[in-house]
Amino acid sequence: MPKIECVSAMEILDSRGRPTVGAWCEFASGARAWASIPSGASTGRAEAVELRDGDPNRHGGLGCRKAVGHVNREINSALRGKSFADQRQLDETIIALDGTPNKSKLGANALLAVSIAFARANAMEAKKPLFEHFASMVDESSQTLPRLTINLFSGGKHAGGQVPIQDVLIVPLSASSIDQGLADASAVYRAATALCARKYQMRPLVADEGGLAPPFPTIDAMLEDAVESIRSPGFAPGKDIAIAIDVASSHFFSEGRYHLEGRSLLPGQMIDQVAQWVERYPIISVEDALAEEDWSNWPALQRRIGNHALVLGDDLLCTNPQRIAQAIESDAASALLLKVNQIGTLTEAAEAHALAKKAGWSITISARSGETEDDWLADLAVGWSGNQIKVGSITRSERLAKYNRLLMIEAQTRWPVANWPKAKP
Ligand code: 2PG
Ligand code: MG
């Protein structure tokens, strides 16, 4: 069991130019690993607390010096000189040190940076690739690579709200490798760039996750433009390349109604609207079609579209084992969007993963809209046998770091890409 020499952290900037936390974990043996942490914009209310300094004179209050200080002082004092049998022991120690239900004392950003740096130092120590080390934390490993879901068009909080729904993603279904999936996605992206220039006189400027964000007049126009971009390089929509959407509807839900394109929809009407999109377009996965607090209507959504598309919970579930258990119990969804920083340690995220797998759900391992150049997410998606991965678009280096790491893992393992999961009846 390697002994921790010290852990330390520093503040760095993410892909939006906002501060985030990176941490080193150093073993007495000399193994020394770094990990940096992403940050969301369309965050769920039940997410663990990302500790920010709140000083308006520095980074608009978003500084992370407090979280960094917690790693350098409290966490380092608790860990240095000690050995931990496994990830669980380490994570339980830092969770107890924080002592709050939502990690508001030390900050989930402080805890997660240490949690992942420790995992990486262990992989180094064992001379294993990180994905193999991640695989040893969960029960099963199917030796597949995750199916890509790639951002094409952005809206909502990632693109200044020019259209209310947040992501239209393309899913290369006929591609049997990551390499082919990226090539197919790139052909569609190029077609979409030309479409945006032609229809919207828009230069190829990109949103937070690298997606194109022209001023679509309506949501339907956004979806039709996605289908046209799939078709124009010669792909069959729904067969070669399908569509996934993140409605991110918590952000236009208030007082029991969904405020969408000038309409004020009751939950039943919102479900009708989503069902119409699923019928009309080749959509195979719908994330956050209903709001995070609209629990009572999710089961009806699942019954209505579950045969045709994954009902994927992001803000609803927040990678939180208690919320996932509640959703399984009420049959509110069929898929988990897993974002480690929503819960704050690898061990708790692994519990979320185990619950979802046991229920027969599909799992999408997801990045955040604010990312760094770190690529651990690709290893996590492979090691934890994610059915899908959601990293954003195929532009912007913080996204490409993950895709390029997947290409390396593919070259090393030659594992096939996971099949699209069968719809849950
Ligand atoms: C989401 C994510 C990633 P954010 O809503 O799924 O697209 O966005 O990181 O802003 O929560
Ligand atoms: Mg989402």
pLDDT at 12: 98
**Are both 4-127 and 138-413 of the same fold?**
no
> Which residue has 């990109």 as its token pair?
206
Counting ligands in written order, the one closest to the CA of 42 is 1
Question: Would you say how long the chain is, in residues?
Answer: 425
Per residue in 48-61, pLDDT (tens digit) is 999 999 999 999 99
- Domain boundary assignment for the chain: 4-127, 138-413
pLDDT at 159: 87
- Give the separation between CA 97 and CA 128, rounded to whole angstroms: 29
pLDDT at 342: 97
Counting ligands in written order, the one closest to the CA of 16 is 1
Task: Select from 170, 159, 247, 169 the least CA-distant residue to 205.
Answer: 159
Per residue in 210-268, pLDDT (tens digit) is 999 999 999 999 999 999 999 999 999 999 999 999 999 999 999 999 999 999 999 99
CB distance 110 to ligand 1 below 6 Å? no
Q: What is the distance in A from the centroid of ligand 1 to the CA of 74? A: 30
Q: Is the predicted pLDDT of residue 386 greater than 60, yes or no?
A: yes
Q: Is the predicted pLDDT of residue 141 greater than 80, yes or no?
A: no
CB distance 246 to ligand 1 below 6 Å? yes
DSSP 299-347: HHHHHHHTTTSEEEESTTTTT-HHHHHHHHHTT--SEEEE-HHHHSSHH
Q: Which residues are bridge partners to 336 per DSSP?
A: 313, 363
Give the fold, CATH level 3, of 138-413: TIM Barrel (3.20.20)
Architecture of domain 4-127: 2-Layer Sandwich (3.30)
What average pLDDT does this structure show over 371-399? 98
Q: Cα angle vertex 11, ends 6, 14, to 5°?
A: 125
CB distance 314 to ligand 1 below 6 Å? yes
Q: What is the distance in A from the centroid of ligand 2 to the CA of 209? A: 12
Listed in sequence order, the residues at least 6 apart from 222 whose beta carbon sits closer than 8 Å to its beta carbon are 153, 155, 163, 165, 168, 216
What average pLDDT does this structure show over 343-364? 97
Q: Is the predicted pLDDT of residue 145 greater than 60, yes or no?
A: yes
Using an 8 Å Cβ cutoff, are 18 and 38 in contact? no
Using an 8 Å Cβ cutoff, are 107 and 49 in contact? yes
- Give the separation between CA 101 and CA 78, rounded to whole angstroms: 19
Per residue in 26-44, pLDDT (tens digit) is 999 999 999 999 999 989 9
Task: Select from 375, 357, 404, 313 the least CA-distant residue to 44.
Answer: 313
Q: Which residues are bridge partners to 172 per DSSP?
A: 241
| Nearest atom within ligand 1 for CA of residue 248 | 5
Question: What are the tokens at 297?
Answer: 């209507």
Of 139 and 420, which is predicted with more confidence? 420
Q: What are residue 44's phi and psi, to 5 degrees?
A: -80, 150
Mutate to test the pocket of ligand 1, among 14, 15, 42, 343 (most ligand atoms within 8 A of CB): 42
Mutate to test the pocket of ligand 1, among 18, 246, 363, 396 (most ligand atoms within 8 A of CB): 246
CB distance 5 to ligand 1 below 6 Å? no
Task: Select from 141, 94, 188 the least CA-distant residue to 418.
Answer: 141
Q: What is the distance in A from the centroid of ligand 2 to the CA of 180? A: 26
Q: Cα angle vertex 389, ends 308, 398, to 5°?
A: 140
Q: Is the predicted pLDDT of residue 3 greater than 80, yes or no?
A: yes
pLDDT at 423: 65
Catalytic residues: 209, 339
| Segments in 242-320 forming alpha helices (H) | 267-280, 298-305
